[in-house]
Amino acid sequence: MQHALLIAGLLLLAVFAGEQCAQAEPPAAHLVLHDVFVDAPCGEHCHTLASTDAPPALSPNDLVLEEEVLVRIRDRKFMPATVRVRAGRKTKLVFHNQDAELHVFAPGNLFDSISVSVEGNGAPEFGEQGFRKVIIPGDGVAELRFVLAQPGRYPFICDMPGHEMRGVIVVE
């Protein structure tokens, strides 16, 4: 909540400063709110409001700055099978199971010792190292929120018997 109030205050300051600004050049800084880019007004003071150059310092419970990725499950396939996320960026990974049968998102040890929040009507499983998998019912949704710091390619599967579903998370 404090972050949301801070962002709202910065937006008001940016709007006020934009009215005061006489430069004709387009704005250079962007403020990212749930994948919506809001142009900050011109002027040097505006460039300190938000920067897309460095990864934001986020807590796993911070919902203000977030990248959302949707993966549909249909006909025993993850679509898309390759999921791209940014290292250091708060990510909301949404699985929508459009099949009538149960499916599982099982990422191996990708989330070992990483804080993961799971919402929706899926049934998550946690072990000693943290998040292990989530079972997603037919026409169900599972939402995972996390921050991955290490770039790389991380495979995931549906481990239901007979389901040969595979995908990969690419952290860039």
Structural domains of the chain, ranges and CATH numbers in brackets? 2-48 (no CATH), 67-171 (2.60.40.420)
| Prediction pTM value | 0.64
Token look-up 């929706």 returns 120
In this prediction, residue 136 carries a pLDDT of 98
Query: What integer pLDDT is reported at residue 171 of this predicted model?
Result: 97
Consecutive sets of 10 residues in the chain, 172 residues long: mean pLDDT of each?
44 41 37 36 34 43 78 98 96 98 97 96 95 98 97 97 97 96
Which amino acid is it at 106?
A
